[in-house]
A and B are shown apart, each in its own frame.
Chain A
């Protein structure tokens, strides 16, 4: 069994980047999954470009590490860039083979971000 709790995943879980809130986000959304995990995304978007991004919430190591890595990755990217991202991109960011039972954990941050940018 591959250890999905890699050094990278554990580091992002223990010290997540961009964890917090924005006081005046232009876009935000809070999404939950069936486990009870929640990821609240806050973004500032200027001319379709994400200039600031934070997230808050509760979740497992995979969902929090995914949120940390995703928020770091999308800084400076456009809404169109984000909309092109897929579950596989999330797995690549995490750098692990995400087992079937944990795919929803890896997906939550992306779902929340896409939902925020749609509003």
Chain B
């Protein structure tokens, strides 16, 4: 199996070593094909009109919802299409006003700012290590007694995955609602929501080989939530003095949704599902190990976490300098705080360089990174 062949990007840009999948992945061919076929043969607006074409498009759109929901073990009515993880988290933060929310130091800004802006009170939990332990979470919940706790499934800085099943159980035992930021986990870690008692879970298509502009929010009981955006396609009836919203998920999807992207998103979840064993054995297994070994072998490089698919590292030089010079060797890596400033500043005030793996990366990519990094370090020394 050679998944790299499934990505037309690499035949068009063979010179590039793409190590920035944690920011956004390349698009898989089955995803592009599904979108193109829908565009060319089935496109129409959805949930509007009674034409055969509109019904056809609506069927594809709702079928996409079912496929994405099944990907996480949820029911279609428990899944709202969003613009991405950020909008999903904002949905939860805006649908109701939470009296108090606990978040952690490991979060992406999109899982910090919505709560800081919308909750009446927020508490920051600082895990001792770069992972959230059930005991530490329990302690924090007992101390602050928040209404809701939110945490990342997999850190976008370290690639470390938290035991979200146990964390959600701790939250549930404390009678606290829980939110999982699944953005980095979706492409790498299968989840069955029936076994993970969270209240909400948000993820994005573009971090799992699907298109940008679409994501999903799972809610255990979305019917109980108020809409946070308003527009067409979300009401059953409206009069001067009365509004009857449609049932979930329609009432949460105001306006024309990203229809083509939903089709692509569904194809992406299918693609990931079909490659889960490969991802586990290679991306999170052999390649992650090789990435750690390669980075360790370069003098002056310090790794933030070992054997993860996100190789964040620091050197005595600024992360932007290192990443920029790697770019001159055709290595696409990211530098800075990775929109997770609380964590990045804890690790290093001027950020880290991040080389993150996707399904298309190879041992040769890692070797090229190693050689480019050696030359970069020499140049800056």
Answer yes or no: A16 CB below 8 A from chain B CBs.
Answer: no
Contact A61 B321 (CB under 8 A): yes
A22 within 8 A of B: no
- Give the residue of B327, B351, B380 whose beta carbon is less than 8 angstroms from that of A35: B351
Q: Are A105 and B320 in contact (CB under 8 A)?
A: yes
B18 → A minimal CB distance (Å): 17
Measured CA separation A102–B327 after assembly (Å) = 14
A1 located at the interface, meaning its Cβ lies under 8 Å from any Cβ of chain B in the complex: yes
Decide if A58 touches B350 in the complex (CB within 8 Å). yes
Which of B318, B351, B379 gathers the greatest number of chain A CB atoms within 10 Å? B318
Interface centre among A37, A58, A60, A62 (most CB of B within 10 A): A60
Q: Are A36 and B324 in contact (CB under 8 A)?
A: no
Q: How far is the CA of A37 from the CA of B317 in the complex (A)?
A: 12
A61 to B325, CA, bound (A): 11
Interface size on A, residues (CB 8 A): 16
Shortest beta-carbon distance, A97 to chain B, in Å? 14
Give bound CA distance, A105 to B336, whole Å. 13
| Chain A residues whose CB sits within 8 angstroms of the CB of B379 once the complex forms | 5, 10
A58 touches B349 (CB 8 A): yes
Q: Are A61 and B327 in contact (CB under 8 A)?
A: no
A3 to B375, CA, bound (A): 14
Q: Are B325 and A5 in contact (CB under 8 A)?
A: yes
A4, B345: Cβ atoms closer than 8 Å = no
Query: 1/0 per position for B302-342, CB-CB distance to A under 8 A?
Result: 00000000000000011011001101100000001100000
Nearest CB in chain B: distance from A91 CB, A? 16
Instruction: Report the Cα distance A35→B379, complex, angstroms.
Output: 22
Across the interface, do B351 and A36 meet the contact criterion of CB distance under 8 Å? Answer: yes
Interface residues on B, range: 10 to 19
Complex contact B351–A3 (CB within 8 A): no
Chain A residues closer than 8 Å to B321, beta-carbon distance: 5, 60-62
Q: Chain A residues near B349 (CB, 8 Å)?
A: 36, 58
Closest Cβ of chain A to B379, distance in Å, is 7
Residue of A nearest to B325 (CB): A5
Report the bound CA distance from A13 to B336 in whole Å.
19
As a 0/1 sequence over residues 104 to 119 of chain A, the CB contacts with chain B under 8 angstroms (1 = contact) are 0100000000000000
Known: A59-B318, A60-B321, A61-B380. Contact between A36 and B350, CB under 8 A? yes
Q: How far is the CB of B346 from chain A (nearest CB, A)?
A: 12
A3 and B328 contact, CB distance less than 8 A: yes
A1 and B325 alpha carbons, distance in the complex (Å): 11
Q: How far is the CB of A35 from chain B (nearest CB, A)?
A: 6
Nearest to A9 among chain B residues (CB) is B321
CA distance in complex: A62, B350 (Å): 14
Closest to A4 in B: B324
Provide the residues of chain A in CB contact with B350, threshold 8 Å.
35-37, 58-60
Known contacts A35-B320, A35-B336, then 5 further A-B pairs from the complex at CB < 8 Å, ordered by chain A residue = A5-B324, A10-B379, A35-B337, A36-B349, A60-B350
Q: Which 4 interchain pairs have the tightest Cβ spacing? A: A60-B318, A36-B350, A36-B349, A60-B320
